[in-house]
Copies of this chain bind each other. A is one copy, B any other.
Amino acid sequence: MTLKVSDIGEKELIKYIIANSRSITPDDTAVTPLESSNLISTCDMLIQSRHFPQNMSYHDMGFKSVTVNVSDLAAMGAEPLGFLLSIAIPKDLEIDHFKQIVAGVLKACDFYNIPLIGGDTNESSEIIINGTALGLTDKPLMKDDYNKGDLIAITGEIGLAALGFELDVLDNIYVKKALKPEARIKEGLILRDYATSATDITDGLASELYTIKKDGMGFMIHEDMLNISDEYKRLSDELGLDYLDLILHVGEDFELLFTISKDNLDKLPIDCIVIGEVTDSDVVEMTLENGFVERIENRGYEHYVSE
State the A residues within 8 Å of B (CB): 2-8, 10, 13-14, 16-17, 20-24, 29-30, 32, 34-37, 39, 41-45, 47, 49-50, 81-82, 84-86, 88-96, 98-99, 102-103, 106, 109, 115-126, 128, 130, 132, 134, 136, 303-304, 306
A-B CB contact pairs (8 Å), 24 listed: A3-B94, A3-B95, A3-B96, A5-B94, A8-B95, A17-B119, A17-B121, A20-B103, A21-B115, A21-B116, A32-B81, A35-B35, A42-B84, A43-B43, A43-B86, A43-B120, A43-B132, A47-B88, A49-B125, A86-B130, A91-B306, A121-B303, A124-B128, A125-B126
Report whether B121 and A24 are in contact in the complex, using a CB–CB cutoff of 8 Å.
no
| A3, chain B: closest CB distance, angstroms | 4
How far apart are the CA atoms of A93 and B115 in the complex, in Å? 37
Select the residue from A3, A14, A44, A45 with max chain B CB neighbours within 10 A.
A45
Report whether B117 and A45 are in contact in the complex, using a CB–CB cutoff of 8 Å.
no
Given contacts A22-B115, A120-B44, A304-B91, contact A102 B37 (CB under 8 A): no
9 more CB-based (< 8 A) A-B contacts, given A10-B123, A39-B134, A41-B134: A5-B92, A16-B98, A23-B115, A29-B118, A30-B118, A35-B35, A41-B118, A45-B130, A88-B128
In-complex Cβ contact of A132 among B49, B81, B93, B132 (8 A): B132
Which residues on B sit within 8 Å (CB–CB) of A90?
A: 5
Which residues on B sit within 8 Å (CB–CB) of A106?
A: 20-21
Given contacts A32-B81, A35-B35, A81-B32, contact A6 B42 (CB under 8 A): no
| A35, chain B: closest CB distance, angstroms | 5
Report whether B4 and A99 are in contact in the complex, using a CB–CB cutoff of 8 Å.
no
Nearest B residue to A51 by beta-carbon distance? B122
Select the residue from A32, A82, A132, A304 with max chain B CB neighbours within 10 A.
A132
How far apart are the CA atoms of A191 and B92 in the complex, in Å? 41
Closest 4 CB pairs of A and B: A23-B115, A30-B118, A30-B117, A130-B130
| A19, chain B: closest CB distance, angstroms | 10
How far apart are the CA atoms of A92 and B102 in the complex, in Å? 32
In-complex Cβ contact of A94 among B4, B36, B130 (8 A): B4
Given contacts A3-B94, A35-B34, contact A43 B121 (CB under 8 A): no
